[in-house]
Amino acid sequence: MSIIQERLLKLRRQMAQQGLDAFIISGTDPHQSEYVCPRWRTRAWISGFTGSAGTVVITADTAGLWTDSRYFLQAEKELEGTGVDLFKVGMPGVPDHTAWLVRQLPAGSCIGTPAAEISMASAAALQELCSSKGLAFTATDDLLEHIWDDRPALPDGKIRAVDTALTGRTREDKISAVRDALASAGAQSTVISSLDDIAWLLNLRGADVAYNPVFLSFLCITSDSVTLFCDAQKFADEGELKHLAKRVHIEPYAAVFSRIASLIPDGTSVYLSPERISSGLRSAVPATCPIVEGVDISTRLKAVKNPVELEGMKQVHRTDGAALTAFLHWIDRQWDQQLEPLDECTLAQKLLSFRQEAEGFLGESFSPIAGYRDHGAACHYSATPQSAYPITGEGLLVLDTGGQYLGGTTDVTRTLVFGKPSVDQIRDYTLVLKGHLAVRRQKFPEGTCGYQIDSVARTALWNEGLSYSHGTGHGVGHMLNVHEGPQNISTKPITVALEAGMVVSNEPGLYREGRHGIRIENLVVVTRREQTEFGQFLGFDDLTMCPYERKLIDSSLLTDQERQQVDDYHARVYEALSGRLSQEVSDWLKQRTRPID
């Protein structure tokens, strides 16, 4: 019996004791985070799957993992021999986990999930579905707490303040903006559990979650008070703690469930985000208080970068681009001279060493993705010393990495070629590049949503019978999470308009299982274009400064407009970076950014 099978057996015993016929594990934390600290890596602990998205469902005799196309190949490998079946979300004939459950369970069965780890919206939807099918649903305590003997403790990363010179707005100004929006929405208070929102609002950064500079906390804002639920000993500077405490009441993190009701006057309206507030925290809000539902006000405020934040993002992308360019030059020299053996892991470490020399570098913004040859076809592949391919022979490498800096966050993907590329590889890369260029030159009227842009990135691929399954773009935070909402560019009909000042990624791709992967990613900022009789138009400007892979571009497949785009972008890259590089690297970059044939 494998270790995963043993854990499933123990969990099923707990389920039986509590009268549960099925148990759902989302893999998130009490803040509905995408990335979590070790204590809440429950999905990985119970199933063995280490991806950042997926739901595990356990019944008395079956177990399944539901995850999306980014992780199909990874999940197949990691679930082998665990007794957990893979359900490929979005594939024909594959039901979602709730539809599967209601088919599997007889009437009268009871489904449970931890109250602290399911959102208000998900709990309400599951309750309604169960009621319609003759099933029961209950939000429980955390059953894993009874069987996970060596479960990690709560993290104790240090909290530090960020100067207004970097944030552009004081915490008082941001809280005032939230209060104004609350009044407009007809609410008197709000409870926020989104960690990046809290960090942004208070101009603080933490170290509780790998790659994401956030800290475990909850925040309650009323018309006359602000209360932060966070353990005070985590502040690195006692003076900063005292300064914060003059305007913000600080209470222990774990006290939120017992104290929140005392902060909100009976009968007053409370603004909550149904996607981010857990069912457990919703239950702690006074029952007499009407609920106004909507995306956290701070989430929308945070998404539109102010001029100071945007200038910081532009500067750190130049810094990051110089480090990445120096690394690419090093790879070329290494490949030509075979200076030392490389594999996927050591390559990523080498890039990190270049970034660590850059001014203001704080750390990576996510776990690096370096997928060589067929590993590149798993778009979120994570190399380990055991799985890493050596970089030898000919092949493509998908390199998706990013950094956290004083002043901003970066995320960039380049597809590199080692040896002589094949005709198919060049064609695939050029088709992806065409989609990438199409997004960047697209203009659109105010009010346009990301899903209306998404097909622009796919048209060149679709015309050849090709596509990719992931989204085209995600929002990016300012010295915060590399994935930030509410804006994105994908096929999902998310009705959030793109606004001037929002930062999103532009990253179409193509993945051929067993052969290679290709992805090209720049971060772009939404900017104002011309105003016409039809309204204000917007467009995208590049933040990322890094040359494309010239050896993979078939210029005969590009239009004159696309060739000019590539040349103009490369000219900007050289102008932005050449003065930051050694003469040798600058000369190399000049060749890499010369006009294409």
Asked whether residue 154 is domain-assigned, the answer is no
Identify the pLDDT of residue 1.
75
Asked whether residue 155 is domain-assigned, the answer is no
Contact between 111 and 98 under an 8 Å Cβ cutoff? The reply is no
Nearest to 83 by CA among 61, 102, 104, 114: 61
Asked whether residue 445 is domain-assigned, the answer is yes
Identify the pLDDT of residue 425.
98
Contact between 489 and 439 under an 8 Å Cβ cutoff? The reply is yes
Verify that 436 and 560 share a domain, yes or no. yes
Asked whether residue 566 is domain-assigned, the answer is yes
Residue 339: which pLDDT band, with cuts at 50, 70 and 90?
Answer: low
Q: In sequence order, which residues have a C-beta less than 8 Å from that of residue 493 and are 6 or more positions away?
A: 449, 451
Our count of domains for the chain comes to 3
Verify that 463 and 329 share a domain, yes or no. yes
Tokens read off for 299: 């989430």
Verify that 398 and 491 share a domain, yes or no. yes
d(CA 346, CA 356): 15
DSSP code per residue over 260-274: HHHHS-TT--EEE-T
Amino acid residing at 108: G
pLDDT, mean of residues 341-360: 95
Asked whether residue 593 is domain-assigned, the answer is no
- Segment (H or E) for 517: strand 516-519
Verify that 115 and 189 share a domain, yes or no. no
Q: Does the structure show a pLDDT above 90 at 384?
A: no
Identify the pLDDT of residue 47.
96
Tell me the per-residue pLDDT of 515-551, one tens digit each, with 9 for 90 and over.
Answer: 999 999 999 999 999 999 999 999 999 999 999 999 9
Coil vs helix vs strand at 151: coil
In a 10 Å sphere around its CB, with 0-12 CB exposed, 13-18 middle and 19+ buried, how is residue 106 labelled?
Answer: exposed
Verify that 279 and 355 share a domain, yes or no. no
Choose one of 114, 146, 178: the last residue of a domain.
Answer: 146
Tokens read off for 336: 């030509």
Identify the pLDDT of residue 571.
98
| Helix intervals (H) in 42-139 | 42-47, 72-78, 97-104, 120-132
Angle at 283 between CA 278 and CA 288, to 5 degrees: 135
CA dihedral sign of residues 190, 194, 199, 205: positive
Contact between 85 and 95 under an 8 Å Cβ cutoff? The reply is no
Choose one of 112, 146, 180: the last residue of a domain.
Answer: 146
Q: In sequence order, which residues have a C-beta less than 8 Å from that of residue 106 and are 6 or more positions away?
A: none
Phi and psi at residue 29, in whole multiples of 5°? -125, -175
d(CA 31, CA 24): 17
Choose one of 84, 114, 146: the last residue of a domain.
Answer: 146
Verify that 397 and 299 share a domain, yes or no. no
Verify that 233 and 140 share a domain, yes or no. no
CATH number at residue 222: 3.40.350.10
Verify that 44 and 25 share a domain, yes or no. yes
Tell me the per-residue pLDDT of 28-59, one tens digit each, with 9 for 90 and over.
Answer: 999 999 999 999 999 999 999 998 889 999 99
Identify the pLDDT of residue 285.
95
Residue 71: which pLDDT band, with cuts at 50, 70 and 90?
Answer: confident
pLDDT, mean of residues 368-386: 91
Verify that 104 and 222 share a domain, yes or no. no
Contact between 535 and 445 under an 8 Å Cβ cutoff? The reply is yes
Identify the pLDDT of residue 542.
98
Q: Does the structure show a pLDDT above 70 at 338?
A: no
pLDDT, mean of residues 131-150: 94
Tokens read off for 345: 């892991």
Tokens read off for 541: 């400007």
Tell me the per-residue pLDDT of 421-437, one tens digit each, with 9 for 90 and over.
Answer: 999 999 999 999 999 99
Coil vs helix vs strand at 593: coil
Containing structural domain, residue 164: 160-303
Q: What is the average pLDDT value for the chain, to the nearest integer?
A: 95
Q: Does the structure show a pLDDT above 90 at 334?
A: no
This prediction has a pTM of: 0.94
Tell me the per-residue pLDDT of 231-284, one tens digit each, with 9 for 90 and over.
Answer: 999 999 999 999 999 999 999 999 999 999 999 999 999 999 999 999 999 999
Asked whether residue 592 is domain-assigned, the answer is no
Residue 336: which pLDDT band, with cuts at 50, 70 and 90?
Answer: confident
Contacts of the segment 4-13: beta carbons below 8 A, 24+ positions apart: 4/46, 4/47, 4/48, 4/82, 4/83, 4/84, 5/82, 5/83, 7/45, 7/46, 7/147, 8/46, 8/58, 8/63, 8/83, 8/84, 10/147, 11/46, 11/58, 11/143, 11/144, 11/147, 12/58, 12/60
- Segment (H or E) for 401: strand 395-401
Asked whether residue 484 is domain-assigned, the answer is yes
Tell me the per-residue pLDDT of 451-501, one tens digit each, with 9 for 90 and over.
Answer: 999 999 999 999 999 999 899 999 999 999 999 999 999 999 999 999 999
Identify the pLDDT of residue 257.
94
Contact between 226 and 175 under an 8 Å Cβ cutoff? The reply is yes
CA dihedral sign of residues 331, 333, 335, 340: negative
**How large a percentage of the chain has pLDDT more than 90?**
92
In a 10 Å sphere around its CB, with 0-12 CB exposed, 13-18 middle and 19+ buried, how is residue 314 labelled?
Answer: middle
Verify that 462 and 411 share a domain, yes or no. yes
Verify that 170 and 66 share a domain, yes or no. no
Asked whether residue 151 is domain-assigned, the answer is no
Nearest to 428 by CA among 466, 391, 456, 401: 466
Verify that 224 and 319 share a domain, yes or no. no
